[in-house]
Structure 1
Amino acid sequence: MRLKSISNIAKITKSMKMIASTKVTKAQRSMETARAFGQSATSLYTHAEAVEKETTKPFVIAVSSDRGLCGGIHSSIAKAVKRYVATKPDSEIAVIGQKARAQIQRDYRKNIVIHFDQVTKVHPVWVEASLIADQIVAGGFEIDAGQIFYNKFKSVISYEAATIPVYSVETLAAAPKLSAYEYDDHILKNFQEFALANSIFWGVAEGYAAEQAAKRTAMENATKNAGEMITKLTLTYNRSRQAAITNELIDIITGASSLN
């Protein structure tokens, strides 16, 4: 019964690995597009030499998802956020996804001011990221400075927790080299909100690609472990079966010998 059960599990994990492998390719294409938009939007901060405003109450956005079966990918985000908040206990946290929220709220429940679930249920889209940015802006939170924590996709077998800086309009307006650009005041505010949405989309898309790659690796390891267990159980089953047959033959031979 156990051998049959593990064989069925192996079929499921193998199918899930094939599905994740297909999704990884599509997620990488979306990630490359999001990365290009995100880097182009945030490059203005670098060129203008914007300096993060010193504050004891930064705004933190943690990007994860609602899905499991992908190793410790959500734990890496939760741990990075906890390390950051430990140095600045008054931080306000916005969490995208249930997995990271469940881990962060164990220690910093009071710091979570807003959360978003059921994001990237099918595939990352910019509309979702812009809606999240709108909710954050409409919430009236003071974003003097902040960080977006996400899983940076390095390869199909590697990822790491990384950050994207978040700047306020005042910080951007005070940048030393911003005068090199021609702009109106209302355009600067619109750009800051647009850059926030782009940065969130960048983090979500990278996190989604890393999640699918981690899920593929996890299902591959699960299939491999199931195969090893099947081999061991089959060997044990055959030995037990052979021992039972041998004992029956001994009983038959002994009985026949006693009759003679």
Structure 2
Amino acid sequence: MATKNNIFKRYLNEYLSASRKRQGEILDHVCDVTQMHRKAAVRKFARLQMRYDSWLDKRGRPPTYGPEVTSALRTVWEAGNEVCGELLHPVTNEYIDILIRDKMWTHLPDATAKLRQMSEGTMKRRVSLFLKARKRRSGISSRKPSHLKQIVPTFTGPWADKPPGFGQIDTVMHSDTARGDAVYTVNYIDAASYLVIPHAQFNKGKQATQKSMKAIQDMMPFPWLGAHPDTGSEFLNWFVKDWCDAENIELTRSRPGQKNDNMYV
């Protein structure tokens, strides 16, 4: 097709300024080379005459889901805790109905209808772009988790010198699959007294983990002086770090991949 366009563009100026006889000769030559019907060639020259120099051919069908549908999908994705497309697709209509009921849905009816009809494969591709945008990094920031690992010191022992209130903390998952939310237990083991305090939570998010740590602190018979997790993101984040600083809880961590740094869990 690109070759045909080049042929028509090559003879366009001559065809437009030529006499009727010369136009017939040009049409005979172009139709012989491109194997196009004569009337189709005439219409092709007419279309090229009406185009401006910077015209770009847009072949194929127009996109079904425009920016307004993508914006509506992002609203549902954020309301659904930013899960993957496979998990979001079965509950999309339910989220839309809830947001409409609570008068929190601001998207047009046409975009809403298209989002309800979106296939799982299309939703997976669109959501993957959201996830890539979240993971994209630029420049240097003191709020990145990688920089936070440099701020939180490592501790390898000895544990025998620690008074009551210093202990290890970790999460244990109660599910046979890592997909989606599940029940976790945040376990605290005190270094000096061997006190064990568990607290259950529904997922592994930073807010749920901080609430579990607060519940563990309330159940302690002595002040909580230090928490020693591994390098898991549920503990090594600024939300938990700021809470520990406010409660005067010393936060240390294990070295990545060094299980001997852990005390019991």
Normalising to structure 1: TM-score of the pair? 0.26
Q: TM-score, normalized by length of structure 2? A: 0.26
Identify which of structures 1 and 2 has the higher relative contact order when contacts are C-alpha pairs closer than 8 Å and 6+ apart.
1
Larger Rg: 2
